[in-house]
Amino acid sequence: METKGWAYRSARKVVADGKECQGAGLDKAAWDRLIQNRPNGADTSPGKLRNKMPRPSNREQILDAAEKVAVDSGAAHLTLDAVAAAAKVSKGGLLYHFKDKDAMLAALVERYMVRCNDKRMEDFHAMGGDASAQLKSQITTICDDKGMPRGLHQTLLIACANTPAMMDPLRKVAQLNMDNIRKNFKHPEQALTLLLAAHGLRFLDLLQFQPFSVEERKTVMRYLLDTSDALATGGRSTLDGYTGMTKPSFKSARK
């Protein structure tokens, strides 16, 4: 066995087994195995081994690749092998971050929620930060087809249908949104009707079933936003400063 590269190859195998470490990122048993298998004269100092340890695959890079596969090829082709290839990492590198496909999909759902919440809060403050802005920012976020490409949205819907527990954080956010609407509108059922109409527009987009022109869709959107102004009480929205989600909601995505 040649000396050059032995520590890297051995350490990489141990890391792939999920071990962690003293000195070089390894537990004692793994360290002992590594030392026993070293060639004569090989440098086994912790600093030397640490420099040879491979960097873990980037989690966001893998999620970016998963989104690209979903958008370009569809949910049926979103496999761990396909994502690993798109991310240019080994399958072991992918499994370092996500123990299985469900864990990866849960992380995509989490990132989707964060992305939607960021857009909604940006729209909310840009629209004045009042009760009307609360409702309008939800409508614009629901109907946003740029921030959430059709292929990715379809993939996440299928994932949540197959594993309903992935919807739990989304349900909590939806409940918080409804609580705010009840506080800020005299007739919350009318505000809810506007939200349902926005969801309907979005689902027609996902199904690629649009029995109206682009201009007609824009007219419907204007109507929803104008009607939101008419329904608003004028009071300040309790959404101000609201983040929409907390870290505990996403523990399942980190496993």
154-204 pLDDT, tens digit per residue, is: 888 888 888 898 888 888 888 888 888 888 888 888 999 999 999 999 888
pLDDT at 24: 40
pLDDT at 219: 92
pLDDT single digits (tens) 209-231:
878 888 998 999 999 999 998 88
Domain ranges across the chain:
6-52, 59-97, 104-254
CATH architecture of 104-254: Orthogonal Bundle (1.10)
The answer, yes or no, to whether residue 207 has pLDDT greater than 70, is yes
Share of the chain above pLDDT 70, in %: 68
CATH architecture of 59-97: Orthogonal Bundle (1.10)
Residue of higher predicted confidence among 245 and 194:
194
Torsion of CA 103, 104, 105, 109, to 10 degrees: 100
The encoded tokens of residue 86 equal 């798109």
pLDDT single digits (tens) 60-107:
999 999 999 988 888 888 899 999 999 999 999 899 999 999 999 999
Q: Work out the widest C-alpha separation in the chain, in whole angstroms.
A: 81
Residue type, 155: T
Residue of higher predicted confidence among 51 and 180:
180
